[in-house]
Amino acid sequence: TVTRQMFNGYQTLDEIYDWLRSLESTYPNNVKVVVGGQTYEGRQILGVHVSFKEGNKAVFLEGGIHAREWIAPATVTYILHQLLTSSDPAVRAVAESRDWYVFPSVNPDGYVYSHTTNRLWRKTRKLYNMGSIKCYGADPNRNWGYHWMEGGASDIPCLDTFGGDAPFSEIETKSLSEYINTVAPQLDVYLGFHSFSQLLLVPFGHEGLEVPENNNELFTIGKQAIDKLAERHGTIYQVGNIPEIIYIASGGSTDWVAGTHRHIRLVYTFELRDTGRYGFVLPSNQIIPTGEETLDAVVSMIQQIDGTA
């Protein structure tokens, strides 16, 4: 089956993009390929817009901002596949209650580089030329323009948490943020997918411990969602604000989304499997179970805000 082909191994960027294009031909009434942005090396940030009816609110799924976190694009594509094909009534109801903007790999240059050259590459691939020293890439999850460089980000281009030389210095974050601005009025949920640590992160990550206005609601909904996640395969998650549960980190995409588009009710960052045994190099036989349990969490979140839980 398609599920076996697609989800028994990690896909290359070309395979993911070809599959997104194939969805548009298979589901011409419901799926459109959309360009969410551009990259330094001249690629496109490709996604799909899924819509079953007019007037729905929308969910944005962002995967792969960190190149080496391969389970993130795999999980986002798994969820997309289920939204289109599942016959589970609960999944169908949630799928069709929203429009979906789904971007499996928002750092495509980095993702390709992690396949061809350095499996543990994290950043973009922009050249930072400092005289005799050349280093590549900024951390695209330290480069967004909300409390940029206010903790947990480096100003040294050779480091993995380099925030860039200005907010939105990376064409990937700049162009994707502009795309998000165009769909933001429709959004009520924005989810970023990373690995690893099995955490559900609530904004914000910068210094000063700002929390969203609906912080308590995000905790309540998040806790029920990770309970549902655990019911599937016993995978244990924790919920918390970013500085409390991992570390201070500023310039993240979800912080910019939550801080700039305050009407978006649910904004979370998932840190998917595992807790460090395999880390970023999660075996591909965990793609399907990770996809299944993460879909359960996403379904639960939407059921809770719709009062259908």
The smaller minimum CB distance to ligand 0X9, of residues 47 and 140, is found at 140
If residue 300 lies in a helix (H) or strand (E), which one and from where to where? helix 287-306
Catalytic annotation present for 213: no
The smaller minimum CB distance to ligand 0X9, of residues 99 and 170, is found at 170
Helices (H), ranges, 27-70: none
How far apart are CB 2 and ligand 0X9 at their closest, in Å?
Answer: 28
At residue 252, φ and ψ (nearest 5 deg) are: -75, 155
In eight-state DSSP terms, residue 286 is G
What's the CA angle centered on 297, arms 64 and 223, to 5 degrees? 115
Q: If binding is defined by CB under 6 A, does position 255 make contact with ligand 0X9?
A: yes
Q: If binding is defined by CB under 6 A, does position 141 make contact with ligand 0X9?
A: yes
Q: Do you find a cis peptide bond into 88, omega within 30 degrees of 0?
A: no
> Is residue 125 helix, strand or coil?
coil
Q: Which of 69, 210, 271, 293 is catalytic?
A: 271
Length of the chain: 309
Q: Do you find a cis peptide bond into 274, omega within 30 degrees of 0?
A: yes
Q: If binding is defined by CB under 6 A, does position 201 make contact with ligand 0X9?
A: yes
Distance in angstroms (rounded) separating the CA atoms of residues 11 and 15:
6
The smaller minimum CB distance to Zn ion, of residues 142 and 194, is found at 194
| Binding track over 145-184 against ligand 0X9, x by CB under 6 A | ----------------------------------------
The smaller minimum CB distance to Zn ion, of residues 174 and 194, is found at 194
Q: If binding is defined by CB under 6 A, does position 205 make contact with ligand 0X9?
A: yes
Q: If binding is defined by CB under 6 A, does position 235 make contact with ligand 0X9?
A: no
Q: List residues binding ligand 0X9 (CB under 6 A).
A: 66, 69, 141, 194, 201, 205, 242, 246, 249, 252, 254-255, 269, 271
